[in-house]
Amino acid sequence: MSDVAGATVDRGTALKVLASFAAAGVLLYFFGTVVGWGEILSTLRDADLRWLVVACLSSTFCLVIWAKSWDVILAVVDVDIPLPSLVSTYFAGTFADYVTPFGKAGGGPFIAYILSTDGRVSYQESLAGVVIADLLNMLPFFTFAGFGFTVLFVRGSVPPRAEPLVGGLALLAFGIPVLVYLGWRHRGVVERLVVGLARPVASRTKYVDVDSLSNRVDEFYDRVDRIAARPKALVVTLVYSYLGWLFFAAPLFLAGQTLGVSIDPLLVLFIVPASTLAGVAPTPGGLGGVEAAIVGLLVVLTPVNTATAAAVALVYRVASYWYVLGIGGVAALYEIYTH
C-alpha cells in the first residue's frame, strides 16, 4: 500500500464508514417497511431494465463532463493533468463524497491531496481549484431548483399541504448561493469565524495552529482571486457544469420510464436538487434521507402512489448512487495504489 493509501485509509475511518452504512441500511429497511416492501417489489417486477442502463450511462456522462470542468479550472492554477487521468481522479473523489456522511465532506480534500502528491502543485493550490470547480458545478443545481420552483409557483400546481416543504426547499435553493457569495466578498469575517472556531481546539491539541490556519485561509482566497480573474475560464466551466447537471438530473426521469411512469421534466428540475439537499443527512450519500425526500416530493407533486414513488426513488438511486459508488470505488483503489 502506498503512502497515500496509508494517509487516506485507516482502520478508524473504515469502521466509521461501515457504521454509517449500517445506520443507512436500518433507515432504508424502515423506509421500505413503512411504505410496504411487498408493494414496492411488485412495482419493481415490471421494470424495463433498458431504461436503467441508460440512466447509468447518464450518470457516467455527468461525471466525465464535470471532470472536464475541473480540467478547465485546474489549468488556471497551472495543474496540467491528462483528461483521462483526471476523470479517474474525479470518479475517486465522487466515491469519497458518497461514502462520507454529510455529503460533500470527503471528496475535495482527498482529490486535492492526490493532485499534490507528485510535486507539481501545492495542496492549497489544488484545493482552491477543486473547491472553485465544485462551487461552479453547484450553481446549476441552485439555478434549476429555483427555475423549477418558479414554474411550480406560476402553474399553481403546488398542493397546499406541500407549500411549506416546497417553500423551505426553495429558500435553501436561493439562500445558499447568497451565503457563498457573501463568504467570498467578506473574507475577513470568514477568516475570523474559522479562527474563532479553531481557537478552542488549538488550546487542547498541538496539531492545530491558529496562526498557520489564518495564513491558509489567506492563501486560499488568494488562489480564488487568481481563478476569478479569468472570466473566460469561468464561463467555459459553467457551460460544462450546466451540461453535466442535465445528465445528473436525467436518471430520475429515466427511473420513471423504467417503471412506466412519466415524470414531467420540469418537475425533475425541482425534485432532483431539492432531494439532493437531503444528502447532508449523517449517512453516506444521504442514504435514507434522499429516498424519503424523493418519495415525499413525488407523492405531493405527481399522481403516483407511495409504493410507486418509492420504487422510482430506489431505481433512481441505483443509477445515481450505487452504480457510481461501484465505479468510483474502482477508481479510488486505482488512485490509492498508483500514487
Successive 10-residue mean pLDDT values, the chain, 339 residues: 45 56 62 66 84 96 91 77 83 82 58 64 69 76 75 69 64 71 75 74 63 68 70 85 92 95 88 74 75 86 88 92 89 76
Give the pLDDT of residue 5. Answer: 43
Question: Residue 18: which of 317, 284, 282, 314 has the closest Cα?
Answer: 284
Split into its structural domains, the chain has a count of 1
Residues 152, 121 contacting (CB under 8 angstroms): no
Give the pLDDT of residue 6. Answer: 44
Give the pLDDT of residue 244. Answer: 92
User: 238: domain range?
Assistant: 3-338
Alpha-carbon distance of 117 to 233, in angstroms, equals: 25
Give the pLDDT of residue 8. Answer: 44
Map residue 44 onto helix, strand or coil.
helix
Residues 121, 217 contacting (CB under 8 angstroms): no
Q: Give pTM, 2 decimals.
A: 0.77
Alpha-carbon distance of 246 to 233, in angstroms, equals: 20
Give the pLDDT of residue 65. Answer: 94
Give the pLDDT of residue 64. Answer: 95
Give the pLDDT of residue 98. Answer: 83
Residue 47: phi and psi, rounded to 5, are -65, 140
Give the pLDDT of residue 142. Answer: 75
Map residue 284 onto helix, strand or coil.
strand
Give the pLDDT of residue 47. Answer: 87
Residues 152, 301 contacting (CB under 8 angstroms): yes
Residues 291, 31 contacting (CB under 8 angstroms): yes
